[in-house]
Structure 1
């Protein structure tokens, strides 16, 4: 063994993946299509570890040296996780994760016996995978026999020769995949769901899923420059994001709606994977900083900030219409009272009652809130403040909600000179943003220039207070 060989880095992950980073997880089960992708065939759902045991027993021999077995199994795990992480088949409309065809994936034989020593190794390492340094995606660990078929990746029979020379599994892998390789150990195991959020993303939405779409579209436009650049990748579905979505849909012959429905979501994911070459051995990869998320993946007791305030606003709106849901203070602090109200909401709407606001709970809250808006009869003629419209208002937006906002701000600016006058046009331009920023600064709200639940609620509260005071003094 060459004493100068540099050892591979080994990365140990915590038991649960931090919600702020989109890191791969090992699925509890995997769906295997018993044939080529377009071939009618049975789908089999089995535990992921059983799948790897089957593949290893179908691809390699139990009599091989243990280090060769380990090297091959690491490659097989990483290959399968790459398919799952990129949703390679599901983004193309298939209802499975991987095929049994060696032309496209790796060998799998339904109901075959597995070798005992292979089974023992898989039980030990099935949630370890390979990646490049500073990349989030599992390595597309291409491999082949090395005799009848050769490739750029691992040679299965060649790994036997290297193991017989005394190399361990990691050194064997480095020989084929290069020095820049890491082994991630003890990746979390989860019951995976599809990446699509379950509801369409549209103008005014603000969340991590919008951020992912913005990142993806800006990368895709490097290969398809007709798609306009989204200036701010901030998780806010603004008019610039809407236009980028519309052009993407036009370029790829989809219905041009400017809304990211399920078909558009997965078409974006498919093209993103393609331009990044994530299913190639030497891909561009997804950098770890690209996998970081802007918003907390979930909110729980002790969390603070605007997302918490928005949840509290929603809960209070629900409490007004549903006596079972308790009202909570809108203070931006996820207290035990907020958690208790969230738990009641979850029970009311058939969710797991954890008291934690996860992705599913967040979207259900938005769905219920918008349902409330659809049945509330709101009068605008006398400037009666409307309830929060349920989405973020930002520059470039043009509709009735913007016009209402401008009316409130215009009235407020008559009595608070710190707020610059804005015209009532229904278009959210630079002057409206300036007025919003000034209002936010005056009332200690983060000065983003955008109007979410907290800003809207504060503006309408101030408007009502001023209107009441002036009515009581007889002024107009």
Structure 2
């Protein structure tokens, strides 16, 4: 059976009426919700395999609603309604049939997918008597099939097709109150949440060509990402500020759901490579991207000063969370007395960041670089402005004194074409990808090159320093 890539929410919020009605919301445990729906829609006297087939469809349906944030992406504060015109039958306070309760408890953590897609199938169904739904499951129609000896899986395949998969063992997770990361995403940010936005905008742009493509989708909020966000905001009448706050985040989610038809039986589907946000606050084995690269960078620096931690080579800082990274994380957790999981949660991340900063402060020979080193939490990309960009430009000009191939730039705090071009040349010197963006490895490499140039330009009394006297030295 396929591995589960979706978590089961501990609770689900149900709107007791049509979506736009002024009705009450109730929040109930997920298992209790499914037991209520099953007891409201099917009969306890049905054969067990018919009941199981229906529970599979009911759980997959509601998990699709939760996974796609179908209602929350439209600005509602609930996960599903109890209006059978739109969703499932949920009757507050109703009695639950004992055998249905037992079956649901046994099946929690199961759902359907189709083909290579990883999202829960929008398992449309109807009672099959007063209402029919072509392509969907007929609830009453499951009974004769079960009486013929078909299993729940065979029954479901007869309705949904032979390419459906049966996922089991999906973990339970606390509700996160919606997928919005809690902070507005903007130029210079990097995270899996940024990669989620990049991936979704690229797919949306296929249907709306005025939205430019973003390449690469690496989790770095660069100028291309900002241009795409602004174009999306223009297209859908949002404030055109290039920022991804809650309104833009959920509007992107809603449009993405629609162009991918994620809430339809004939969904285009999501591949595993498109699933970039399951636990946005965690880094785990198998993940990749700038966040992992930054983690490895921290571990490498800290590892130079603690014998209990492994040593890293530059080529091992590759942005791929493999076994070596997991072992290094576990070693760090052991060192500082955190639970040894090999997984980077918020507590581990901030502890490692604090250790890294302490290591920098303990290196007196790098005091001259204190104003330059220590900004790896932010990627510098074209289009940004501010003091961090100004400091990067100062480093570029120091390097330019010793490396003729590096063009000097105007120190104006504006990351424009000239700064990007010079950064690309420096990255080539360092053997790094020539992205023109300043990430942790580029920042550290620039600092090392600048230190070399300054050390090499120290002159004896009366000696010509090698560059015009009076030129800005910092």
Find out whether 1:72 has 2:54 as its counterpart: yes
| Equivalent of residue 88 in structure 2, options 94, 106, 109 | 106
Instruction: Give the distance between the partners of 2:284 and 2:198, measured in 1 at CA.
Output: 27
**CA distance 1:167–1:463, change in 2 (3 Å):** same
Equivalence for 1:161 = 144
Equivalence for 2:33 = 51
**CA distance 1:342–1:383, change in 2 (3 Å):** closer
Instruction: Give the distance between the partners of 1:342 and 1:221, measured in 2 at CA.
Output: 46
Instruction: Give the distance between the partners of 2:252 and 2:350, measured in 1 at CA.
Output: 21
Equivalence for 2:304 = none
Q: Which moved more, 1:442-451 or 1:186-195?
A: 442-451
Count how many residue pairs are aligned between Structure 1 and Structure 2: 429
**CA distance 1:12–1:282, change in 2 (3 Å):** closer
**CA distance 1:157–1:94, change in 2 (3 Å):** same
Deviations 1:292-330 (A, max 9, x none): 57999734799999646635878999xxxxxxxxxx999
Equivalence for 2:439 = 452
Q: Secondary structure at 1:289's aligned position in 2?
A: helix
Instruction: Give the distance between the partners of 2:286 and 2:127, measured in 1 at CA.
Output: 54
Equivalence for 1:423 = 409
Query: TM-score, length-normalised on structure 2?
Result: 0.78
Kept after mapping to 2: 8 A contact 1:207/1:295: no
Alignment of 1:134-153 (within 5 A): 134-152=116-134, 153=136
Deviations 1:344-370 (A, max 9, x none): 8xxxxxxx998953368769999xx9x
Equivalence for 2:471 = none
Equivalence for 1:278 = 262
RMSD of aligned Cα (Å): 3.9
Q: Secondary structure at 1:176's aligned position in 2?
A: helix
Query: What is the CA distance between 1:422 and its match in structure 2?
Result: 4.2
Equivalence for 2:161 = 178
Instruction: Give the distance between the partners of 1:435 and 1:111, measured in 2 at CA.
Output: 67
Kept after mapping to 2: 8 A contact 1:142/1:154: yes
Q: Which moved more, 1:427-436 or 1:307-316?
A: 307-316
Q: Which moved more, 1:74-83 or 1:206-215?
A: 206-215
Equivalence for 1:436 = 423
Query: What is the CA distance between 1:454 and its match in structure 2?
Result: 3.1
Alignment of 1:198-277 (within 5 A): 198-277=182-261
Query: What is the CA distance between 1:33 and its match in structure 2?
Result: 1.7
Find out whether 1:406 has 2:360 as its counterpart: no
Kept after mapping to 2: 8 A contact 1:301/1:336: no
Kept after mapping to 1: 8 A contact 2:373/2:444: no
Q: Secondary structure at 2:272's aligned position in 1?
A: coil
Query: What is the CA distance between 1:243 and its match in structure 2?
Result: 1.0
**CA distance 1:360–1:58, change in 2 (3 Å):** farther
Instruction: Give the distance between the partners of 1:88 and 1:253, measured in 2 at CA.
Output: 20
Kept after mapping to 1: 8 A contact 2:333/2:348: no
**CA distance 1:463–1:178, change in 2 (3 Å):** same
**CA distance 1:335–1:60, change in 2 (3 Å):** closer
Query: TM-score, length-normalised on structure 1?
Result: 0.78
Equivalence for 2:109 = 127
Query: What is the CA distance between 1:409 and its match in structure 2?
Result: 2.0
**CA distance 1:473–1:337, change in 2 (3 Å):** farther
Q: Secondary structure at 2:93's aligned position in 1?
A: coil
Query: What is the CA distance between 1:261 and its match in structure 2?
Result: 0.6
**CA distance 1:356–1:138, change in 2 (3 Å):** closer
Find out whether 1:84 has 2:66 as its counterpart: yes
Equivalence for 1:339 = 333
| Equivalent of residue 290 in structure 1, options 260, 274, 280 | 274
Instruction: Give the distance between the partners of 1:360 and 1:250, measured in 2 at CA.
Output: 39
Deviations 1:178-234 (A, max 9, x none): 222111111122113121111111111122111111111111122222222223222
Deviations 1:9-32 (A, max 9, x none): xx253xxx6xxxxx2111121111
Give structure 2 stretches of 5+ with no counterpart. 302-309, 318-324, 357-368, 468-474
Instruction: Give the distance between the partners of 2:376 and 2:292, measured in 1 at CA.
Output: 18
Kept after mapping to 1: 8 A contact 2:47/2:146: yes
